[in-house]
Every structure is written in C-alpha cells, then in structure tokens.
Structure 1
Amino acid sequence: MDKSVIIVCPQCGSLNKAPDSKLQSGNLPNCGRCHAPLFDGHPADLASAEDFDRMIGKTELPVLVDFWAGWCGPCRAMAPEFEAAARDLEPMARLAKLDTERVPEIAARFGIQSIPTMILFSRGREINRRSGALGRSAIIAFAQSAS
C-alpha cells in the first residue's frame, strides 16, 4: 500500500493527503478544496501566525522557512536563490517565507536576531537553523539535511 503524506495548501490552508508515489512521479496534486497546485515552484508566503502554525504543524514534509524583511539587503539578494531552490526541492520539501516585520510574534517566538535566517522544520519541530544569505546550492544542501 502506498504511503501518503499530509500537505497544507499554500493558497487556502486546507489539509490534503497525497500518495508518496504521486509526489515522486512528478504528477503533482492539486488542492482538493481550492484546486490550486500544492506545489508551484515558489515559496509559500506565511502572512500570519496562523499560516505559520498550520504550515509547520500540519505539513508532513520538511519545511524550510526563510525569515526575512524587505529592508534587508542580504535578504533581497538571497530571495531569487531561495526561489530557485524551491523549484529544485519541491515536492520533497516545502519552502516558505516569513516577513519578520509583518509577523513579528513568530520571529520573537523563534528568537530571530539576524536576518536572513532559515529554519528547517520536520513534523512541526525545529531541526536546524542557519543565518546569513546563501546561494541556491547551499540552500538545497541545508534543506536536504532533514533526511
């Protein structure tokens, strides 16, 4: 029997069960509720504490979150690299971005003191973190450290 994983839709937040075989085949699923693609090659935008808690707490795939701010030069420099890494890592991991100015309570909860900071979560728990701007290949290697 094919193992399934729970994936939070980045558009509507609903929970979706997707068979591992479908993810590995490249035949990527759409959300059962809003019908948007569950993976579109772009990091998910975590616009609120509720978005963050749902994505981190319910998604069974590793989730790599980029904590950033619009005024941060290194954050802006890393943004296209993070985007490129999302295209390479999906659907085996979810990449997401959290603006620390827009959702300061999450940044405070995780003690974010410098940005950009990436935190890798697995099944709702922080398993690794790294501060500083990275290129695409370093982001991919960091995200793959979950396995």
Structure 2
Amino acid sequence: MLSYPIDLNGETFKDIIEKSPIPILIDFWAVWCGPCKSFAPIFTNAAKKFGKKVIFCKVNTDAEPTLASQYQIRSIPTLIAFKNGIETNRVSGALPPLQLEGLINSLLY
C-alpha cells in the first residue's frame, strides 16, 4: 500500500488501527531522541520493502502525549504492532535492520 511511514495523531490513530485489513507497525518517537533519529531511516527502509504487507506509522510522543500515555510509552523509540485492531507485540529500543525484519515477519506469519 504505502512505501513510507505515515504520521498518526489523536484523530487518525483509532481509525487506522481499527479499520486496517493488514498489520500495522507504529514507531513512537520524539524529535529530541538520538536513538529515534538513528532508527528513522531503518524504519523508512522497512516501509519501502514491506509497505504492501504492513502499514508503517509514526507517532511523535511530544506532539501526542495522550496517545503516549494511553499506550504507556515509557521509553522511545517503542514499536507497537497491531493486527485486527489488537496489540500483538511491543519492542522498546532502536532495532537493527535484521531484527526489525524479524518483527515484521512475525506479523505476517
């Protein structure tokens, strides 16, 4: 579908999560976060590679503190995977490309 991550906010988050026919992977991040900055191109490259099978999204925790609180984001980056509107996996920390691909593959199979 998309070959790049889409930004979610409080208004779009629930709609995307509940209505997506394919898995979703969300990167909770912040502008000031060094690991988030280094992970961003890895996440974008994964979106290019897997964008037809998974929707890649980003939530800026500074801009969306309510979402960060609702999903109990305690450290960033944090990745949360959703399938059929339900959280299925959560990983904190910047992942190297192969580990991210492993997470994505676990969503698909």
Please classify the TM superposition score into its range, dividing by the shorter chain length: over 0.9
Please identify runs of 4+ aligned residues in structure 1 that moved more than 3 A: none
Q: Which residue in 1 is equivalent to 2:101?
A: 140
93-102 or 48-57, larger mean C-alpha shift? 48-57
Contact 1:68-1:100 at 8 Å conserved across structures = yes
Q: TM-score, normalising length from structure 1?
A: 0.71
Counterpart CA distance in 2 for 1:89 and 1:140 is 9
Q: What is the letter of the counterpart of residue 70 of structure 1?
A: V
Check if 1:45 corresponds to 2:22. no
SS in 1 for 2:27: strand
Aligned counterparts of 1:144 and 1:55: Cα–Cα separation in 2? 20
- Corresponding residue to 2:81 among 120, 126, 134: 120
Structure 2 distance, partners of 1:138, 1:52, is: 25
Q: CA deviation at 1:129?
A: 0.3
Cα separation, 2, equivalents of 1:135 and 1:50: 31
| Separation (CA, whole Å) in 2 of partners of 1:96 and 1:57 | 14
Q: Percent identity?
A: 40
Kindly name which structure, 1 or 2, has the bigger radius of gyration based on alpha carbons. 1
The 2-side partners of 1:65 and 1:50 are apart by 15
**What one-letter code is carried by the residue in structure 2 that aligns with 1:145?**
S
Cross-structure match for 1:54 = 15
Name the SS for the 2:63 alignment partner.
Answer: coil
Give the TM-score normalised by structure 2.
Answer: 0.94
Q: Which has the higher helix share?
A: 2
User: 1 or 2 for the larger relative contact order (CA 8 Å, sep ≥6)?
Assistant: 2
Task: Give unmatched runs, 5+ long, in structure 1.
Answer: 1-37
Alignment: residue pair count: 108
User: Equivalent residue for 2:35?
Assistant: 74
Deviation (angstroms), 1:107: 0.7
